[in-house]
Amino acid sequence: MPAELIDGKVVSEKVRAAAAAAVAKLPGKPCLAVVLVGEDPASALYVKSKGEKTEAAGMRSITHRLAATATQAEVEAQLTALNNDPEVDGILLQLPLPKGLDESRALACIDAAKDVDGLTEASAGRLLLGKPGLKPCTPTGCVIMAKHALGDDLTGRHVVVIGRSILVGKPAALLFLAENCTVTIAHSKTADLPALCRTADILVPAVGRPEMVRGDWVKPGAVVIDVGINRIPAPEKGEGKTRVVGDAHFEECRTVASHITPVPGGVGLMTVACLLRNTVLAACARRGWAVPKELEG
């Protein structure tokens, strides 16, 4: 029997609805500020979508646009100004930045209390130490999707995360560890990677290699949370056409797994939903508001 799809549209809508329900109970409106540098069409479209979804959830959305010629100092000054603005609860710097700008330096300027993307060193440190703080959106989405498939208690599950990036692999491993899972981080240097993957109850490919994980890498009945988003040639659609695939070979893996996320339509949709959730949590922490029960846990 083919694996059951973990529909990112359905799961992300639940997260967005919970955020909206929480906002409705608050004494004020949380505010998310996005900084967009340059004219990249994909980034501009993504920022527009974030703004629309933020407002749909009952929050305020502000977008600060800087020219592609903006200097490092100008970008950092904008972020510092938002840190100091008492009306702003969350700050998101849209990545990637134009060439010549230092993303790490810019991210380091964001106040950890407003770091709704969970990408600053302070946020990473809090995650590692198990302290309260804002968690990275995509890895958080992975955990939520795994719980959607298996239930809220993931205790004792063996999770194999393929990838050790600071954006997804490492934080995902820490978040699953916090759920009392046994976690293995695998990577390109891992000996007999297919055999290791076959031990996973939850397999999380996050390496950016199209269809790398084959069906015979998957333990029968495992859950596959595919983080990969890769564009590959699709000559069947016409000359120069492409299609999007994940890091797992979907058709092969779905014949073995119990649950699997599609690409597109899976983990990617969770990122904005978790961003909205983080904005509400940041507002509650900053303003001394009680966290509504919709966002507890």
98-127 per-position pLDDT tens digit: 999 999 999 999 999 999 999 999 999 999
Q: Tell me what pLDDT residue 296 has.
A: 80
Q: Tell me what pLDDT residue 72 has.
A: 98
Catalytic positions, please?
50, 94, 117
Q: Which amino acid is at 147?
A: K
Q: What percent of the chain has pLDDT over 70?
A: 100
Taken in order of first residue, the domains within the chain and their CATH numbers are: 27-111 (3.40.50.10860), 137-269 (3.40.50.720)
pLDDT interval class at 174 (50, 70, 90): very high
Mean pLDDT of the chain: 96
The mean pLDDT value for 39-54 works out to 92
pLDDT interval class at 239 (50, 70, 90): confident
The mean pLDDT value for 221-246 works out to 93
Q: Tell me what pLDDT residue 93 has.
A: 96
pLDDT interval class at 297 (50, 70, 90): low
The mean pLDDT value for 46-74 works out to 96
The mean pLDDT value for 234-242 works out to 88
pLDDT in tens, 124-156: 999 999 999 999 999 999 999 999 999 999 999
Residue 190 has pLDDT above 90, yes or no: yes
Q: Tell me what pLDDT residue 236 has.
A: 86
